Structure 1
Amino acid sequence: MDIDGIIEQLKVMKVPTEREIFLLLSLCEEILIGEGNVVPIYAPVTIIGDIHGQLPDLVTICNEVSKGPYLFLGDYVDRGAYSVETLLLLISLKVRDPDMVTLLRGNHESRQITAVYGFYDECIRKFSNGSSIWRRCCSLFDYLPLVAVIENSIMCVHGGLSPMISKINEIRCIDRCDEVPHEGPICDLLWSDPDDSMEGEWALSPRGAGFLFGKLAVERFLHENNFNGVARAHQLAMEGFRDHFNGGVITVWSAPNYCGRCGNVAAVLKIDEKLNREFVVFGGSEETVLDAEYFI
C-alpha cells in the first residue's frame, strides 16, 4: 500500500478505496493493540486538542504549525464535514510512523456518540459499504489508549480526572477495549471537566457523564503521582487554550472557528526537551465546513 500517496490524497479530501480503508484500519489496530492504556511520551512533542472533522485545519497544523512528534487528545470525528478524511489521515500518519503520532481516545470515539453527531451518517453518505466502515472504525476506537504521560511529568487525557483514580498505575489496569461506559473511570477520563470556581474536590457534571473537579482534586492527584500538570482538551476555548488552577491543568482546543460559527481561534501546545510550554495560536482555514445538522 502506498501510505504516502494515501496521505497526500487525504490532505486534499480524496478518500482511499474501501479496500484500502479496511486495510488501514487493520494495520492501525495492530499498532494500537501493542500500546498500553498509558502511553509514555518523550519530549519534545506537540499536543493537539479536539479536531472534530475539520480536515483543512488538521492539514494546517501538520504542514504549518508544527512538524511533530504529535500527541492528539481525541475527538477526531463528528460535527465537522470531513470526519472520515480526518480520521483516515490520522490513522495513515500513525501507520506510517507509529512513534511520531500518538492517538488518545476522546468521548466522541464511541458508537453511541458517533451514531448521533454525524460520523455514522457521513460514512453512509460517502461509501456504498458505509455501515461496515463505521462499525470497523468503532472497533478501532476501542483500542485507543486512554492517557499519555510526558517524561513522567505531564499527564495528558481527553477529559480529566476521576474520583475513582488516585494513582496513574490504576489506569494501566483498566480493560479499555470496549464501548465507552456511561459511568466509571473510563467515562470520567473522557468526559470530566475542571471547574475553577469549585471549593471542594468533585461535583456532578452538567454533561450527564463524568464529573467536575476542583483545585483540591488536582493538587491531590499531582502530588500522589509526582506530576507537574495535566493537559486535556474537551472544552471549547475561545483563545485556543485555557489555564486552570495556576497551570495545574491546561485545556488545549485545536478546532478554530468551531463548527463554522463560534469565532474562536485554536492552539496547539508545544512541550520542549526541558518541559517548557509554548502555545501556538492559529486561525481557521477558509475551507472549514460545518455539518450544520450536528451542531449543538
Structure 2
Amino acid sequence: MTEKTIANNQRQVGSSKAKILMRGVTEQQLLDLAHSARALFMSEPVLVHITSPLIIVGDLHGQHTDLLQYFKRCGKPPDQKYLFLGDYVDRGRQSLETISLILAYKLKYPDKLAVLRGNHECSRINRIYGFYDECKRRYSTKLWKVFTDCFNCLPLAALVDNSMFCAHGGLSPDLKKLEQLNEIRRPTEVPDMGIICDLLWSDPDGSYAGWKENERGVSYTFGEDALIRFMNDCNVKLVVRAHQVVEDGYEFFADKKVNFE
C-alpha cells in the first residue's frame, strides 16, 4: 500500500459509508500489507525499546476518524513518533482502515512507530467482536486469517527510555524480570493463562493487595504492592497501559505509578 493510497483514504474520511474509505484498495494490496508487516514485526523483539519524545495511543477499536484526529492534532509520522498500545480492531465500523493505516505507516517509517498487541488482536476475540464480520463483508475471510496471523507476531510490550514499561493490559505474577519476555516465541496465539495472557488482559485495582482473579474471567488484577514490587525488580519508574475506558482520556493509579491511556 503506497503513501498516496494512505493520503487518499484520509481525504475520504468524511464519507458516511465505511466501504468508500477503502475504495481503490484491493484485497491483494491488503494481503501484501499484512504479510510485509508480519515480517517486520518478526524482526523486532517482543519487548520493543523506544525513546521519547513520543505520543502514546490506547485503544482505537476501529475508530479511524479518531486516529486521523491524533495525526492532525499531534503530527503524522515521520514528524511525530508514536507508540500504539493495541486494540486496533473490533467494535468500531472501520477496523480495516484503522489497522491498515497504522501498518502502512509502520512499514514506511519503522523507527517512528511502535505497534503493540492488544487482547483484541486475537482470533478468538475478533472472530466475535466485529473484525471477522467486517473482513468477510468487505473482502473475504482469507483477509481476516492473514491479518490475524500478522497479529500473532506483534510485540507485546515496550520500554521507553529504559524506564517506562508499556503494555496493553498490565502486569503478570509470572513476570519477574523483563528478560523473560525475550524467551517468548512468535508467532503465537494468546494462551488462556501466563505472561502473554496477563500482559494483554490484566487490570490494576487499588482496593486490595497482591493478585486476584480478574472479574473479566481472564487473567488477574494487581494491587499497588504488586505494582511496586514489579517496578523495583525491573527497575522501571512508570507503567503505562490501556485496556480500560477512563473519563478524561488518561488517569493515574497508585500515586502516579500507572498511567491509563
TM bin (shorter chain): over 0.9
Counterpart of 1:14 in structure 2: which amino acid?
Answer: M
The aligned residue for residue 143 of structure 1 is 153
1:168-202 CA distances to partner (integer Å, 9 max, x unpaired)?
Answer: 1111211242111111110000000000212x210
* Separation in 2, partners of 1:30, 1:120: 22
Counterpart of 1:59 in structure 2: which amino acid?
Answer: L
* Separation in 2, partners of 1:74, 1:188: 14
Contact 1:52 1:78 in 2 (8 A): yes
Give how far 1:14 is off: 2.5
TM-score, scaled to structure 1: 0.82
Aligned residues: 248
Following superposition, which runs of at least 4 residues in structure 1 exceed 4 angstroms of deviation?
Answer: none
The aligned residue for residue 5 of structure 1 is 4
1:129-278 paired onto structure 2 within 5 Å: 130-198=140-208, 200-252=209-261
1:76-115 paired onto structure 2 within 5 Å: 76-115=88-127
Contact 1:110 1:141 in 2 (8 A): yes
Contact 2:203 2:220 in 1 (8 A): yes
* Separation in 2, partners of 1:149, 1:209: 25
- CA-based RMSD of the aligned residues comes to 1.1
* Separation in 2, partners of 1:105, 1:32: 11
* Separation in 2, partners of 1:27, 1:147: 21
Give how far 1:66 is off: 4.0
Contact 2:42 2:186 in 1 (8 A): no
- The secondary structure found in structure 1 opposite 2:111 is helix
Counterpart of 1:8 in structure 2: which amino acid?
Answer: A
* Separation in 1, partners of 2:250, 2:215: 21
Contact 1:46 1:66 in 2 (8 A): no
Contact 1:176 1:186 in 2 (8 A): no
Q: Quick check: which one's helix share is greater?
A: 2
Runs of 5+ consecutive residues of structure 2 not aligned to the other structure: 13-20
The aligned residue for residue 121 of structure 1 is 133
The aligned residue for residue 14 of structure 1 is 22
Counterpart of 2:22 in structure 1: which amino acid?
Answer: K
* Separation in 1, partners of 2:176, 2:95: 34
* Separation in 2, partners of 1:204, 1:25: 35
* Separation in 1, partners of 2:186, 2:205: 26
1:232-290 CA distances to partner (integer Å, 9 max, x unpaired)?
Answer: 000011111110001111110xxxxxxxxxxxxxxxxxxxxxxxxxxxxxxxxxxxxxx
* Separation in 2, partners of 1:232, 1:176: 22
TM-score, scaled to structure 2: 0.93
1:45 and 2:54 equivalent?
yes
Percent identity over the alignment is 40
Structure number with greater CO (CA < 8 Å, separation at least 6) is 1
- The secondary structure found in structure 1 opposite 2:6 is helix
